[in-house]
A and B are shown apart, each in its own frame.
Chain A
Amino acid sequence: MNQWKNFSKGLLKENAVFVMFLGLCPTLGVTTSAVNGLGMGLATTFVLVMSNLVVALIKNQIPDKVRIPAFIVIIATFVTVVEMVMKAYVPALFDALGLFIPLIVVNCVVLGRAEAFASKNNVVSSIIDGLGMGIGFALALTALGAVREVLGSGSIFGLSFLKGDGMLLFVLPPGAFIALGYLIVLANKLKAKTT
């Protein structure tokens, strides 16, 4: 029951994007389509789970003073792994995400979970926490990507349902800010209703 709580809090109640406002750069930068959002979300989830696992394993060996640099090295290692794997197996997605793959290192969500959760909890809880947070992040990115894709190019997950062009604005940078702004309003509204 307790583990379910660790998992589910990342989905909505402490959702990284809509509630905590963490990891906003990739959120805005890669979500021109739902597929890109999902790909970025899954890559971040992998890094989140693996770094939480390793941090939880070696938390007692790391001196308190150098813990942040140590966490960053652990995270950067897994980001490099993701970078190489994506380059080899999904080159199209690798090109679409571009700069934002190495930038997973400085995604505040990953370092935030390592510092706030994995460095204080056991291995199993940390993995579950990473998984929940990662899936919540992936959901948020996919949702934003889907909204922008539907409005901007009249398709969803690459399936076109509209002839001609959509509202180009939503594929361009300004649309990212505006769409995310209204999605946060929606999330606020849902939260206000449930409590």
Chain B
Amino acid sequence: MEYVLIIIAAVFVSNIVLNQFLGICPFIGVSNKVDTAIGMTGAVTFVMVIATLFTYLIFQYVLIPFELEYLRTITFILVIASLVQMVEIMLKKISPPLYQALGIFLPLITTNCAVLGVAVLAVQQDFNLLGSVVFAIGNAIGFGLALITFSGIREQLDMMNVPKQMKGVPIAFIVAGLMALAFMGFTGIV
């Protein structure tokens, strides 16, 4: 039950994109088409869950015993960068079709603040190991939900008659604001 609550809270109540403002760059950058949004979601889910697992273990069993907590930021970003690289190499070998599908998105993930943000939040909130992984999965679902619905709206928006100065990114932000407003309706359910 506790884990169900973690997931609901991460997906709806404090949605990582619309409420925590993490991962805005891909949210605006790759949300032009539903297909690319799905590809990005797949890649982010993959890296986010594995990265949170590894950073949690390293933080609990290496950094804390040696009192190196101040190295958290550097360690985490190195773990994420090397993971992304490793995932890229492995995917290329094991599953070329998946690599083709995710390929261009993988390098972008290193600088996706959602991944580092979730890793840092997971150790800050004192989850246990399983809790951290569930937290990462919930946030990945939340990211996907926001990104894919948003890209659906933007596909429709392309056919609309929007004032010239508002075309593209500005109108996307206002739509995102309205979506965030809708998500605020979930406040308080957990």
**Can you name 9 A-B pairs with beta carbons within 8 Å?**
A26-B21, A72-B81, A80-B71, A80-B74, A108-B111, A173-B21, A174-B180, A178-B177, A181-B176
Contact stretch, chosen from B22-30, B38-46, B58-66, B93-101: B22-30
Among B20, B77, B173, B174, find the residue whose CB has the most chain A CB atoms closer than 10 A: B173
The B97-147 residues at the A interface (CB cut-off 8 A) are 110-113, 116-117, 120-121, 124
Cβ-defined contact, B120 with A177, below 8 A: no
Please name all residues of chain A whose beta carbon is closer than 8 Å to the beta carbon of B111 when the two chains form the complex. Answer: 106, 108, 111
Bound-state CA distance A53–B77 (Å) is 21
Bound-state CA distance A173–B29 (Å) is 19
Cβ-defined contact, B77 with A28, below 8 A: no
Is there a chain A Cβ closer than 8 Å to B73's Cβ? yes
**How many interface residues does chain B have, given as a range?**
35 or more
Among B28, B124, B181, find the residue whose CB has the most chain A CB atoms closer than 10 A: B181
Is there a chain A Cβ closer than 8 Å to B86's Cβ? no
Q: SS class of chain A's interface: helix, strand, loop or mixed? A: helix
Cβ-defined contact, A28 with B74, below 8 A: no
Within the complex, what minimum Cβ distance (angstroms) separates A1 from chain B? 32
Which residues of B are in contact with A by a Cβ distance under 8 Å? 18-25, 28-29, 70-74, 76-78, 81-82, 110-113, 116-117, 120-121, 124, 165-166, 169-174, 176-178, 180-181, 184
The answer to whether residues A177 and B113 also contact, given A25-B25, A84-B70 and a CB cut-off of 8 A, is no
Cβ-defined contact, A79 with B28, below 8 A: no
Please name all residues of chain B whose beta carbon is closer than 8 Å to the beta carbon of A69 when the two chains form the complex. Answer: 78, 81-82
The answer to whether residues A177 and B169 also contact, given A76-B74, A77-B74 and a CB cut-off of 8 A, is no
Bound-state CA distance A79–B116 (Å) is 14
Bound-state CA distance A181–B176 (Å) is 9
Which residues of A are in contact with B by a Cβ distance under 8 Å? 21-22, 24-29, 68-69, 72-73, 76-77, 79-80, 83-84, 99, 102-103, 105-108, 111, 169, 172-178, 180-182, 184-185, 188-189, 192
Cβ-defined contact, B174 with A105, below 8 A: no
The residue of chain B having its C-beta at the shortest distance from the C-beta of A82 within the complex is B73
Bound-state CA distance A182–B180 (Å) is 16
Residue B120 contacts which of A77, A99, A173 (CB distance < 8 angstroms)? A99
Cβ-defined contact, A182 with B24, below 8 A: no
Cβ-defined contact, A72 with B184, below 8 A: no
Within the complex, what minimum Cβ distance (angstroms) separates A51 from chain B? 13
Bound-state CA distance A176–B110 (Å) is 25
Cβ-defined contact, A103 with B113, below 8 A: yes
Cβ-defined contact, B18 with A173, below 8 A: yes
Bound-state CA distance A55–B166 (Å) is 37
Bound-state CA distance A68–B37 (Å) is 25
Residue B21 contacts which of A77, A79, A176 (CB distance < 8 angstroms)? A176
The residue of chain B having its C-beta at the shortest distance from the C-beta of A30 within the complex is B21
Please name all residues of chain B whose beta carbon is closer than 8 Å to the beta carbon of A106 when the two chains form the complex. Answer: 77, 110-113, 116
Residue B24 contacts which of A25, A73, A79, A102 (CB distance < 8 angstroms)? A25
The residue of chain A having its C-beta at the shortest distance from the C-beta of B121 within the complex is A99
Please name all residues of chain B whose beta carbon is closer than 8 Å to the beta carbon of A26 when the two chains form the complex. Answer: 21
Top 7 A-B residue pairs of the complex, sorted by shortest distance between their CB atoms: A181-B173, A177-B177, A178-B177, A29-B21, A174-B180, A24-B24, A181-B174
Within the complex, what minimum Cβ distance (angstroms) separates B84 from chain A? 10
Cβ-defined contact, B73 with A105, below 8 A: yes
Within the complex, what minimum Cβ distance (angstroms) separates B129 from chain A? 21
Among B22, B78, B170, B184, find the residue whose CB has the most chain A CB atoms closer than 10 A: B170
